[in-house]
Amino acid sequence: MLRDYLIKKLNGVFYKRDEPQSQSPLSDEIKISGYLNTNLEIVRKITKNCSDVIIREFLMGNIRAAVIYIDGLVNTLSVDQTVIKTLMYGTDDNCEPCCIDEIINKLIVSGEIKKVNTVNDGFEGFLSGDTFLMADGIKEGLIINTKGFEKRSVDDPQTDSVIRGSREGFIENIRTNTALLRRRIKSVSLCVENIKIGRETKTAVDIIYLENVANSELISEIKRRLIKIDIDGILDSGYLQYFLDDNPKSVFSLVDSTEKPDIAAAKILEGRAAVVVDGSPFVLTAPMYFGESFQSPEDYYIHSVAATMLRVIRYLSFFVSILALPAYVALTTFHQELIPTQLLYTMAAAESGTPFASFIEALMMTVVFEILKEAGVRLPKPVGQAVSIVGALVIGETAVSAGLIGAPMVIAVSITAVTAFVTPAQANTIVLLRYILLVLSAVLGGFGITVGLLGILIHLMSLKSFGTPYLAPLAPLRISDLKDTVFLAPVRARLTRPHGLSRKNPIRQKLSD
């Protein structure tokens, strides 16, 4: 409450309420008139004669017409051949179109055409890469599909890497992404619903789900949350992840994201919904279980025993990454009697000449490691690799040789760093949890770690993703859904969908006699 009060007061100080809000030139609806000169004057006034806005006037028989498009967003050959050439040479003085329907039915050969009555809709069309057509004496316009902007080819995704499985990844084009999902789910029940979000960007957002599988309450809630968003622009799916999250203040993400079409398709088949955002290669899926962070698409393409072993390793790595360093600090500070005698002598000898306490050493080393990791990610690859090598040599070996850090501490930090990379979906969460447990271990020792773990567990059990418990099917326990959690059952044993995801059609597989 105090935080919200201070934010409101600060907003009142920095942003005067009586200052006029600047409005968009198209905030009011402008009807298309029957006079082409008037319509074009409005367009030129709003666009302020932008150099990339092309207005091409021509004669359609004896009727003046004009097309408006953005240079660089359209396929100019398509505009020339299917629109301008067709209208100029497809009419003569004795056969002039008298209405917009006649142009659609007799002249335009494009496959996707939309009638509009306002200049606002026309702007939305040609700013998205289509061509806006208006003619003298006709109070309607046409939005003709001529999109042709540059886009990245479908390639191996940078995240979700696999040894065996699909090499296709989503790209920044929304129609390519929906097509990748359509290729995998060839069902008439696959629904794709479009919503425009962002006052300035008008970003296209698609909700994709199986109508005969997904719960209707889930789809309605996703639509409600998306429609409720009032923001100037959406540039990536990460913007929407905050709005869709049931508990944005939690360190755990309640909405999953993926760059691979096969992962998104598998989740849609289970009863989840996918949210595809134009301009983003990451597709959101909801609801999300905590266990999804430890799953890999490759698990389902290899033997179930091997997949189970890998999942156990991932879970162990998660706990090691958040507990190894706090446990080391707790043992060396409060519970030396729990360390074997020979090991205790070795650790004491290594730490005897260091000037800092274990907690300070751990805190410095983790901060330095995060700095090195961030530098390696942001810099170009050749430089990033050099930073990693220099960091390992200077920060690690040299710091130990200089007596600033003990060798056991370097080993503990290295273990936590490596194990955190095993579960990249929880990488940011692991860092935060590690710092929390590190502080508790320095203050209260093992008791502090126990309190911290209990707090994390209680928090996890309280979380829900679109009404579905985050820890399901472990809490609440549902035996029938445990076949795809820590242990992965063979394909023949996975007969039903997860209980909370699909009540319409829970049966996935019917075994033949």
Average pLDDT value for residue range 496-500: 84
3-state SS class at 203: strand
At 252-306, the pLDDT tens digits run: 999 999 999 999 999 999 999 999 999 999 999 999 999 999 988 888 888 889 9
Average pLDDT value for residue range 330-358: 84
Least confident of 47-56, 372-381, 404-413, 501-510: 372-381
Average pLDDT value for residue range 475-500: 85
How much is the pTM?
Answer: 0.84
The overall average pLDDT reported for the chain is 85
Is residue 418 predicted with pLDDT exceeding 90?
no
The sign of the dihedral angle between the CA atoms of 395, 400, 402, 405 is positive
Of the ranges 83-87, 339-343, 449-453, the best mean pLDDT one: 449-453
Q: Residue 18's pLDDT band (boundaries 50, 70, 90)?
A: very low
Write down the pLDDT at residue 51.
86
Which of 323 and 404 is assigned the larger pLDDT?
Answer: 323
Do residues 411 and 320 make contact, with C-beta atoms less than 8 angstroms apart?
A: no
Write down the pLDDT at residue 2.
44
> Which contacts qualify for 456-465: CB closer than 8 Å, 24 or more apart?
459/250, 459/252, 460/252, 460/290, 463/246, 463/247, 463/250, 463/252, 463/254, 464/246, 464/254, 465/246, 465/254, 465/255, 465/286, 465/287, 465/288, 465/289
At 36-90, the pLDDT tens digits run: 999 999 999 988 878 889 999 988 878 889 999 999 888 888 888 888 888 888 7
Write down the pLDDT at residue 284.
95
3-state SS class at 482: coil
